[in-house]
Amino acid sequence: MCPLALPVGACTATASEYQGEQVSFLALAECQSPLAQYLGLPAPGVTKQNSAHHFHTENVATPAAPVPSFQLPVVQIAPQMLVGWSHMQMPVPMPVPMPSPYEVQQYFYAEGLLPPSDQSFTASGSSSESGDNSVDSSNSTQASASTARCQRRQRAAVAAAEACSQSHSSSSSKAGRLDYADLMWKLEAGDTTTAIAELRGNVRRLTFEAAGCRIVQKALERADQQSAAELVSELHGCVRRAISSPHGNYVIQKVVEALPTALSRFVVDELLEDCSGFVRHRFGCRVMCRILEHSGGDSMEINTWMMANEVVKETGDLLLHNFGHHVIESLLEHGLPEHKHQIAVALYANLAEYVTGRHSTYVIESALKQCSMEDQQLLISALVCNSENLIWIAENQSGFHIVKALLTHSTEARNTTLQMLQPATTRLQSSRNGFRVIQEMQACARISAY
């Protein structure tokens, strides 16, 4: 459909001239140009829908000809604006941004294209202006409502912040007067009694602060058992939250390291509720390793034994986990024989996957040192059963640790490993990890010679 609506008089053809042609006269709203619709101009007439655009052009303004002097009942189209709406196949980009109706009206008046006595455009403009006013009023109403909502949110946020600040200041008014530097100086100088007296009631808050957690750790190191029991009593019920904190986890580790098991038992009790989650946590694995280091072995308490059992059940997944494998290694070093045997069985069940794992190879290396001799022989026999498999492990970046552990194991394991790797020396030299294995083999040969 033609997007240009010609003014009255631009085409004098009548419907009788188009007999025999299929012509459909559309309503003004369908054939009127977008610019005319945007400006709210009155009806200039009708145009027919025809791909050939049959109309007379002797009275139409063009860029090369001046504006004709015939009288138009509505308005003349400016030559500059007609070029942008010409019937060309290539689209002509519209000017951006589009001028407002008021600006176009002023332009017509300034160029003399619209007589001051013409009331059609002014009437249309007044109607559109009234419409604009109604739209502006509705927009202003919406804007006012939106502004009011924003102001209410801001007032609510300020009130909440003030309430939080007041509650924090009221609950920690005494803590706000603490001098961290003075407290640390007293603890290091030996004035532990005064420093601990100032710390009472503030341990939980300081645990989650970067500077405060250091003061709490120092106080736990210097305090006697009675004073330490009073300090750690403030941490009951927030162990899991403290472990998840980048500062609080150091305080929990210090509780396990510096205090006897009777005072640090509450840490394990609270960890049992989500043991499988914290063994995979960046900070939780550290706390669990400290627990196994200081309360493991033959004197392991019942709650620590229960925690170790929960960890061992997930050995298959933890061997490949970037944090969980640290706890498995700690169990191999400080766990009970039953825990070590279960780990060795889990390794043997899926050894082909674990020999090239980035984290599991460290566990295999530790198992070859910490497990019982029966379990060690079980793993060694599986590793050296095939020379091609052993060479493939040696060429792997992670498998280098396993080959190194075999070379430093018993004399029998070392000799078996050397016999299987020496024929593949040329092949190993072509890879970076294989070259490292050759260096270890040469070092073992020198040790055997002495």
Question: In which band, very low, low, confident or very high, does the pLDDT at 449 lie, cut at 50, 70 and 90?
Answer: low
Q: Are 81 and 39 in contact (CB under 8 A)?
A: no
Q: Which pLDDT tens digit goes with each residue over 257-309?
A: 999 988 999 999 999 888 888 999 999 999 999 999 998 877 788 889 999 99
User: Does residue 38 surpass a pLDDT of 80?
Assistant: no
Three-class secondary structure assignment of 5-16? CCCCCCCCCCHH
d(CA 434, CA 116): 96
pLDDT band at 80 (very low <50, low <70, confident <90, very high): very low
DSSP H or E segment with residue 312: helix 302-312
d(CA 155, CA 149) in angstroms, rounded, equals 10
Q: What are the beta bridge partners of residue 25?
A: 48
Compute the distance between CA of residue 357 and CA of residue 401 in angstroms, rounded to an integer: 11
Q: Note the pLDDT tens digit of each residue in 98-155.
A: 666 666 666 665 665 555 544 333 333 444 444 444 444 444 455 577 777 777 766 7
Q: What value does the CA radius of gyration of the chain take, rounded to a whole number of Å?
A: 44
Look at residue 251 and tell me whether its pLDDT is greater than 70.
yes
Q: End-to-end CA distance of the chain, in Å?
A: 101
Please report the pLDDT score of residue 50 as a whole number: 45
Do residues 30 and 1 make contact, with C-beta atoms less than 8 angstroms apart?
yes
Please, what's the b/e burial string for 158-189 (b: 16 or more CB within 10 A of its CB; e: otherwise)?
A: eeeeeeeeeeeeeeeeebeebeeeebbebbee
Please name the helix (run of DSSP H) or strand (run of DSSP E) that holds residue 105, with its range, or none. Answer: helix 101-111
pLDDT at 370: 92
Q: Would the CA dihedral through 132, 137, 142, 143 be positive or negative? A: positive
- The whole-number pLDDT of residue 88 equals 47
Give every CB contact of residue 106 below 8 A, 6+ residues apart in sequence: none
Write out pLDDT tens, residues 3-29. Answer: 444 444 444 444 444 444 444 444 444
CA dihedral 119, 124, 125, 130 (to 10 degrees): 130
- Distant-in-sequence, close-in-space partners of 374: CB < 8 Å, separation ≥ 6: none
> What pLDDT is stored for residue 344 in this prediction?
95
Q: CB within 8 A of 21, min separation 6: which ones?
A: 50
Region 160-180 average pLDDT: 53
Query: Average pLDDT over the chain, rounded to whole?
Result: 74
What backbone torsions phi and psi does residue 25 show, to the nearest 5 degrees? -90, 115
Closest CA to 421 of 441, 436, 401: 441
Task: Provide the token pair at 235.
Answer: 């941490």
Would you place residue 331 in the very low, low, confident or very high pLDDT band (cuts 50, 70, 90)?
very high
Q: What is the DSSP string of 236-263?
A: TT-HHHHHTSTTHHHHHHHHHHHS-HHH
